[in-house]
Amino acid sequence: SPRVLSGIQPTAGSFHLGNYLGAVRQWVALQETHDAFYMVVDLHAITVPQDPAELRANTRLAAAQLLAAGLDPERCTLFVQSHVPEHAQLGWVMNCLTGFGEASRMTQFKDKSAKQGADRATVGLFTYPILQVADILLYQADQVPVGEDQRQHIELTRDLAERFNGRFGETFTIPAPYILKETGKIYDLQDPTIKMSKSASTPKGLINLLDDPKVTAKKVKSAVTDTETVIRFDPENKAGVSNLLSIMSTLTSTSVEDLEKSYEGKMYGALKTDLAEVMVDFVTPFRARTQEYLDDPETLDSVLAKGAEKARAVAAETLAQTYERIGFLPAK
Ligand code: TYM
């Protein structure tokens, strides 16, 4: 079966609704039909300063949330990036294939480094997308389920894979982005013109999946809409309402058209109240399951150890082939 690979950063606190709807929800679905590899990208996390104890805790927390969201170690390979040394190794090779100007055009780097102050950004942050290229190519992934903000990184991956294949012979599968139109970009609840994100959103605009469900309900109910009253999907003119409709549609598996029909003649408050309830029903068991995994770190760590072993078997093979193609002398 075709292969998918994706990754998520171990952030402090919890995943947010954009991470879940834009990516993790698809990961759960794809493990049924695809040979699926998912990882917590701790190597990527250190491109910005990290406290060691927190990084360790956040890595476990990320894995616990992925399991709570529905990843099943029997159906997918779940691992921690730093457990598989081939990521850094292939990352170096990819660094040597990337043009400086090409890397300079990555918009996420421009945004993130501007936020930090250009002088304080690390070289690691600059080469972040190139490590991501290595992540994807190591597993010969056919598809990469991510949110819209990762599209440019997947395009870079395709470019570098084609470049390598052209120069050294067919080695890497050319991956395609797997980005859903409906949820590829979930917007901030207070400013629906920007994407929901840990760094840019205000606390009220950001739904953390591990927030107290009461807090979540309150945030949904105070989401910014517009001065009209019609509940209609129109992202350009009604960004806030459209965002709420997208979220509601996905969480309830109801089409946006059906939602529009069922809210005909109703006020925004009705949609918000219903969505708040749907959200609470979703996050309440999610929180409890995450806590169960956190309470049993031995099981969690052994899931990750098994995942790393499976991942390494694939990654080592690709790296060996890559080294051979490049012309590295084999160690006898
Ligand atoms: P990260 O950790 O920032 O985000 C994880 C996933 O969540 C998606 N996402 C969103 N989707 C919709 N709406 C939003 N508001 C929103 N915010 C975040 C992201 O697109 C992502 O899919 N560079 C990656 C991690 C990574 C990776 C990889 C991904 C490292 N190596 C290899 C795929 C393949 C990142 O920082 O994601």
Per-residue confidence (pLDDT) for residue 201, from 0 to 100: 87
How far is 278 from 282, CA to CA, in rounded Å? 6
Per-residue confidence (pLDDT) for residue 81, from 0 to 100: 98
Instruction: Tell whether ligand 1 has an atom less than 6 A from the beta carbon of residue 195.
Output: yes
Q: Which tens digits make up the pLDDT trace of 46-71?
A: 999 999 999 999 999 999 999 999 99
C-alpha pair distances (Å), 232 with each of 1, 188, 229, 241, 264: 39, 18, 9, 7, 9
User: Model pTM greater than 0.90?
Assistant: yes
Instruction: Tell whether ligand 1 has an atom less than 6 A from the beta carbon of residue 40.
Output: no
- 37 - beta bridge partners? 5, 77
Q: 206: closest CA among 42, 6, 53, 15?
A: 15
How far is 81 from 88, CA to CA, in rounded Å? 9
> Ligand 1, residues 42, 149, 160, 182: which to mutate, most atoms within 8 A of Cβ?
149
At residue 6, the 3 state secondary structure works out as strand
Q: DSSP letters along 252-265, please?
A: HT--HHHHHHHTTT
Per-residue confidence (pLDDT) for residue 228, from 0 to 100: 93
Per-residue confidence (pLDDT) for residue 83, from 0 to 100: 98
Per-residue confidence (pLDDT) for residue 258, from 0 to 100: 98
Per-residue confidence (pLDDT) for residue 252, from 0 to 100: 97
How far is 24 from 322, CA to CA, in rounded Å? 30
Q: Which tens digits make up the pLDDT trace of 284-316?
A: 999 999 999 999 999 999 999 999 999 999 999
**Mean pLDDT, the chain cut into blocks of 10 residues (332 residues total):** 97 95 98 98 96 98 98 98 98 98 91 81 95 98 98 98 98 98 97 94 95 97 95 97 98 97 96 98 98 98 98 98 97 87
Per-residue confidence (pLDDT) for residue 207, from 0 to 100: 97
Q: Which residues contact 40 (CB under 8 A, 6 or more apart)?
A: 7, 8, 9, 10, 59, 62, 63, 66, 79, 80, 81
Instruction: Tell whether ligand 1 has an atom less than 6 A from the beta carbon of residue 6.
Output: yes
Closest residue (by CA) to atom 35 of ligand 1? 8
> Ligand 1, residues 14, 19, 40, 44: which to mutate, most atoms within 8 A of Cβ?
19
Both structure tokens of 274: 């219903």
Per-residue confidence (pLDDT) for residue 332, from 0 to 100: 85
Per-residue confidence (pLDDT) for residue 153, from 0 to 100: 97
Crossing angle of helices 268-294 and 213-221, in 10° steps, is 160
Per-residue confidence (pLDDT) for residue 115, from 0 to 100: 82
Per-residue confidence (pLDDT) for residue 114, from 0 to 100: 83
ipTM of the complex: 0.99
**Cβ count within 10 A of residue 70:** 15
Which residue blocks in 222-296 are alpha helix, DSSP H? 239-252, 256-262, 268-294
Q: Which tens digits make up the pLDDT trace of 169-178?
A: 999 999 999 9
Ligand 1 centroid to residue 180 C-alpha, Å = 13
Burial of 216 (0-12, 13-18, 19+ CB in 10 A): buried
Per-residue confidence (pLDDT) for residue 109, from 0 to 100: 87
Per-residue confidence (pLDDT) for residue 33, from 0 to 100: 98
End-to-end Cα distance, the chain: 35
How far is 103 from 245, CA to CA, in rounded Å? 36
